[in-house]
A and B are shown apart, each in its own frame.
Chain A
């Protein structure tokens, strides 16, 4: 094997509104004060990470008809907090999740173009789709979009936004004070888009930004989602962080690129990953067990079982055996505002398997959720974690990771201090930023107008 070492890409996901985040830890800080975001972003930049990542959900989650109260609730507006973070960082990429269903292209394009200007070329857009009337209740058009049209709208939304970004070439503003010519071109920003979802025309009002277009992320896992990523995205925020699953996903997605005339390196695969560090592997394993117990309280365990059972299980004892009744196959799901519940495509089979596992291992409900739920991706000493990450990337199970710490805002500090230097010693992670834009960090080409690309310098 003479394959050259791949350089690893690392990103920091601000701890979110899942039970991954241990808000009950005494070290846990605010999820809404700007100081938490600033601390987190500065740590990521100190560690030379590629970017910071923010998720978004446009309706507070509910379960059993009530607002879900066991996890962190509440978060800031994505664009606004990213613009503020641009003021306290210089190089870190700023990736925001923005929904293509409950927004309009003109407004989103001007927000991303503005963010790209205000950050000197560091913006990225994780394009997500939703269609549910539940979220729609917060917006003008309500639940207007059928589920099967969500990717068709997302694709057209992105294509339209790209037309707006490309409506300025970058050389229109001359601002010649002597002659009085501000614009070279009287029609700068002119666009016409006539499509199934958008019929708009006029002139875009933000001149071309440093990156031309924000870096595009895609996070959906369905066949349609993968195809959307292969045709349109620069990076995928994936969920497959075991070696075998990661390699299978990596191969599947990268092979889809050819039919769009794209090369494998034009789409980065970056799974979400959690981690627990200890001085030794044994200590880390012990800490990881403790973190899992904090992530899954008895109450949380019951609620997670309800995702599969789709029934009110509040009468069950989380320290007792699993329910012997079967899941409710009803269409109306007990949990609302969660993408996660869609993963359970055959709840009856899952319930059967979980009962079998619980009986074989003498697990209570809580034990089961702790052991089958999202266990930490990387557990070990800094040396073990650095080696595991490197092996994973070199084995083409990913191009790097989007790390999701479980403590806000200090959960990344130890990784920055202890693991990053080891990756740098291995020669697989940058010791200094080489470029100024996020495209530079990710090795992505800078788009010229109309999708023509030039190599990143």
Chain B
């Protein structure tokens, strides 16, 4: 199998990005929003179960190592938006036993965390969900988040397009690539059949099937093996959001699913071409790599209602909502048209960011999904028991196993 690409007959993949009460900063003020439940297990369980009713491939859960902020790099002292959140890996684990099919993809921050801890955490999420874990890797260049750890300072980014900024960002993504490499090696540090329970010799494991990973990098060296056996999927899918060349390269080197933000089919084709070229340069041309477009969605059967809802929320927020991703306001039918158009440009799926989770998530599962099913481009039942299976990714061989 070469790079995963779409053809008119290939199914479309659909994920939803969970973030507080939704992606619009005023979403918490909608009557359906449940802002008082944000820090309860029940709230997150309800959302993921709704996504599972819609047969979605997976949900992602946003996270960070500091409070949300309306500034890109600095904290704010705003009191009119949702602030505070729960750890995404733990939230996913809390939901796992209460769902059966849907993939669970929490955000983890590579910049200040230990790859050893992240590797076993996601492996364990894979165990508690019996093969439905993934992770979404993110970096942070925020000085205030570095100060939460106090182990290093990160050069302050002032303008976006100068060489110093590019160096800083490239350094963080290089570190993230090392992080992912360690996480992946640790998943493979146990061969699948390492546990032997040989009563005759008294050996619980065959230690020849446990492997030191001996990673040495600029930011860390990790010996291994993991304390957690190889997860059910072998390698849970690694995903990342990318907006320009440096992160495109990271996606091409390290990910199974990349999220990109083209606003039209032409731009989608250009982004895909760039990532595929990077993939080839990284020697991964033969490996499957999904590219999903991110879209913010306001969905109502009557398109005028969706537009009006967007206006009303913008008015509540006091400013127009802007996003890195294209913002769509319209009907499920119109959205299905757009998804088909973007898919024809070579995208294999979509990660939808509901503007208001309490409203737009059910609109996806009960409006968009049936529409896509009518068009024969989306599943009518879950066809696989693991997230890799849903994404059409084979279970990979272990890099350390003797061929």
Which residues on A are within 8 Å of B, measured CB to CB?
Answer: 23-24, 32-34, 38, 56-60, 66-67, 69-77, 79-81, 83-84, 86-88, 102-104, 106-107, 110-111, 114-115, 117-120, 137-140, 142, 168, 173, 175, 177, 180-189, 198-203, 205-207, 209, 297-300
Contacts and interface: CB of A to CB of B under 8 A. Distances in A.
Contact of A200 (B95, B114, B125, B148): B148
Interface in B178-216: 190, 195, 197, 199, 201-207, 210
Contacts of B270: none
Given A73-B210, A117-B39, 19 more contacts: A23-B197, A60-B210, A76-B120, A76-B124, A76-B127, A80-B120, A81-B128, A83-B89, A83-B91, A87-B98, A117-B41, A173-B84, A182-B83, A186-B78, A188-B83, A199-B150, A200-B149, A206-B87, A209-B39
B204 A110 contact: no
CB-CB nearest 7 A-B residue pairs? A84-B128, A137-B223, A175-B35, A83-B93, A80-B124, A114-B87, A77-B124
B210 A67 contact: yes
A213 to B, nearest CB: 16
Nearest to A140: B220
Contacts of B121: 77, 79-80
Contacts of A38: 97
Interface in B330-378: none
Interface in B125-169: 125, 127-128, 130, 144-145, 147-151
Interface in B88-129: 89-91, 93-98, 112-114, 116-117, 120-121, 123-125, 127-128
Contacts of B68: 205
Contact of A139 (B78, B97, B114, B125): B114
Interface of B: 26, 28-31, 33, 35-36, 39-41, 45, 64-68, 75, 77-87, 89-91, 93-98, 112-114, 116-117, 120-121, 123-125, 127-128, 130, 144-145, 147-151, 190, 195, 197, 199, 201-207, 210, 219-225, 227-229, 316
A74 B201 CA distance: 19
A137 B202 contact: no
Nearest to B149: A104
B97 A84 contact: yes
Contacts, number: 226
Contacts of A140: 114, 219-220
Nearest to A111: B87
A80 B151 contact: no
Nearest to A68: B207
Contacts of A142: 221
Contacts of A181: 79-80
Taking each of A71, A88, A203, A207, which has the highest tally of chain B beta carbons within 10 Å of its own beta carbon?
A: A203
Given A74-B228, A104-B112, A114-B91, A299 B77 contact: no
B124 A207 contact: no
B127 A34 contact: yes
Does more than half of chain A's interface fall in helix, strand or loop, or is it mixed?
loop
Given A186-B77, A202-B148, A80 B207 contact: no
A90 B190 CA distance: 34
Given A33-B127, A202-B144, A77 B120 contact: yes
Contact of B90 (A71, A114, A175, A189): A114
Contacts of B89: 79-80, 83
A138 B204 contact: no
A384 B136 CA distance: 54
B228 A75 contact: yes
B192 to A, nearest CB: 12
Nearest to B119: A77
Given A77-B124, A87-B98, A182-B35, A106 B41 contact: no
Contacts of A80: 89-90, 93, 120-121, 124-125, 128
A200 B153 CA distance: 11
B243 to A, nearest CB: 24
Contacts of A182: 28, 35, 79-83
A114 B220 CA distance: 27
B67 A189 contact: yes
Contact of A104 (B67, B96, B151, B205): B151
B125 A118 contact: no
B190 to A, nearest CB: 7
Contacts of B120: 76-77, 80
